[in-house]
Amino acid sequence: MSTYVYGIIDGSRSSLSEDMVGVGDPQRPVRVLEESGLAAVVSDAPEGLRPKRKDLLAHQNVLAEAGADGCVLPMRFGSVAPDDETVTAVLAERAEHYKERLRALDGRVEYNVKATHDEEAVLHRVMAENPELRSLTEANRQAGGGSYEEKLRLGEMVVAAVKAREVEDAAEVQQALEATSAAVSNGPESSGWLANVSFLVDRDDAETFLASVEQIRKSHPHLELRVNGPLPPYSFVEPGPAEPAGSTAGAESSGE
Backbone angles phi, psi at 10, to 5 degrees: -65, 140
Query: Residue 146: is its pLDDT beyond 70?
Result: no
Q: State pLDDT tens for residues 204-243.
A: 999 999 999 999 999 998 999 999 988 889 899 876 666 5
Name every residue whose Cβ is closer than 8 Å to that of residue 182 and which is 6 or more positions away in sequence.
Answer: 108, 200, 201, 202
Asked if residue 256 has pLDDT above 50, the reply is: no
63 in helix, strand or coil? helix
Q: What is the pLDDT of residues 18-53, one digit of tens each?
A: 889 999 999 999 999 999 999 999 999 999 888 899
Mind giving me the DSSP string for 160-201?
HHHHHHHHHHHHHHHHHHHTT-SEEEE----TT-SEEEEEEE
